[in-house]
Amino acid sequence: MDRERRRLLKVLGAAGLGGLAGCTGGPTESTPTEEPTDTPTPTEASGGADGGMESTPTETSDGMEETPTATATGTPMDPTYVGMVYATGGLGDGSFNDQAQQGLYAAEEDFSVQYQESQPETTSEFSTFQRQFAQSSDPDYDLVCCIGFLQTDSLSTTSENFPDQNFMLVDSVVDAPNVANYTFREHEGSYLVGQLAGLLTTQDFEAGAGATTGDSTNVGFVGGVESDLIRKFEAGYTAGVKAASEDVDVITSYVGGFSDPAGGQEAALAMYNSGADIVYHAAGNTGTGVFQAAQDQGKFAIGVDRDQSVTKESFQDVILASMVKRVDTAVYSAIEAQVNGNFPGGSITTLGLAEDGVDIVYGQQLGSEIPEDVKDPVAESRQAIVDGDISVPTDPGNV
């Protein structure tokens, strides 16, 4: 069966929530947009850490050959079952959730992994999906991945109620022996895009569909939910802007959610109308509205989590750069550890610039147009942060 078709059939929409209550098999598939097919089987592996091992192709019910992961003796491995509980905003955000999904896909390629995905629409649904994965007996999920800091409270309870279930959490910490926690130094990468914004806004720069005036005295930051986590993005960005020019201020707005493009557009429009040339967002799918506002006003924007000049290609003519955050690395690492039998329950793994957990990536269309007298200082700051010569604040109040 075609890999993308299998993936489509594994995605669970919120529409299926009502039918899931009380089931013992965990979250089930949503109604597919293609014609029904049989239950997906464990996907094939491409070698990964066990590359070169022998395996025997088998034929699936739709006539396609499928090669199961094999042990050194040629015996197929039992699949590792993974449940994914995404952040609100869902898949297709071109940002945080999609980056997490890339880690799942990479693990699927390298190991014998079978998975199910759930997309809560509200924070109240987190505990429902976490619990249903943990309660499932067919299949029995080996690992439940919880994406986003808003799941912390729910997971604190769920992990305690299901002590034999392994969980991983991105962007927060639950102190429990069955939870592996992955956090990031978002402020470090945000410093770099802040410095980029601060340097460019003081120049006359034109590329793609955007332009700066050279005499702007402010840039913008649009956050999703105001929280300690998103304030780290704001703090790093503001520190980078100030490192470029003390005369440039940062206008900040928190929309209140990660799935409100209209709210993001409104917030960014207000900033552009106030003289900002460049707006950075840390707001999930809300950030799509920031890109739209940049196009509407002939200004620039900076993306987050993934290279959004690729994932939001229609806006690449205004996206200067993105602060990438390797959520995919966290998801992949947790699944790999589970597959190898050394799941790091109770641990905290933190990824920053030094660990390639965050970074600046210049836009596909505009990156080559950004002058070297801007890129060079940003590169120097990157190395200085890695070397410990620059300490980036995590609270905007300390900038």
Residue 281 exposure: Cα atoms within 13 Å on the Cβ side? 40
pLDDT(231) > 50: yes
Q: What confidence score (pLDDT) does residue 78 get? A: 85
Average pLDDT over residues 331-349: 97
For the segment 76-88, what is each residue's pLDDT rounded down to a tens digit? 468 999 999 999 9
Mean pLDDT, all residues of the chain: 85
Q: Which residue has the tokens 């329950």?
A: 345
Q: Residues 90, 296: contact at Cβ < 8 Å?
A: no
CA distance 278 to 270: 12
In 3-state terms, what secondary structure has residue 310?
Answer: helix
- Low-confidence winner among 23-32, 185-194, 363-372 (lowest mean pLDDT): 23-32
- Low-confidence winner among 15-29, 36-50, 311-325, 382-396 (lowest mean pLDDT): 36-50
pLDDT(363) > 60: yes
DSSP string, 109-178: HHS-EEEEEE--SSGGGHHHHHHHHHH--SS--SEEEEESGGGHHHHHHHHHH-TTSEEEEESS----TT
pLDDT(69) > 70: no
| pTM (2 d.p.) | 0.81
CA distance 267 to 257: 12
Consecutive H or E run containing 350:
strand 348-351
Selected residue with higher pLDDT from 22 and 167 = 167
For the 3-184+331-335 domain, the top CATH level (class) is: alpha beta
Average pLDDT over residues 230-239: 98
Selected residue with higher pLDDT from 67 and 328 = 328
Q: What confidence score (pLDDT) does residue 24 get? A: 31
pLDDT(58) > 80: no
Could you state, in order of their start, the residue ranges of all structural domains in the chain? 3-184+331-335, 186-325+366-398
Give residue 201's pLDDT band: very low, low, confident or very high (50, 70, 90). Answer: very high
pLDDT(335) > 70: yes
Q: What confidence score (pLDDT) does residue 214 get? A: 84
For the segment 104-126, what is each residue's pLDDT rounded down to a tens digit? 999 999 999 999 999 999 999 99
Give residue 5's pLDDT band: very low, low, confident or very high (50, 70, 90). Answer: very low
CA distance 302 to 320: 6
For the segment 146-178, what is each residue's pLDDT rounded down to a tens digit? 999 999 999 999 999 999 999 999 999 999 999
Could you tell me what percent of the chain has a pLDDT over 90? Answer: 79
Average pLDDT over residues 222-243: 98
CATH number (3.40.50.720, 1.50.10.10, 3.40.50.2300, 3.40.50.1360) of 186-325+366-398 reads 3.40.50.2300
Q: What confidence score (pLDDT) does residue 22 get? A: 29
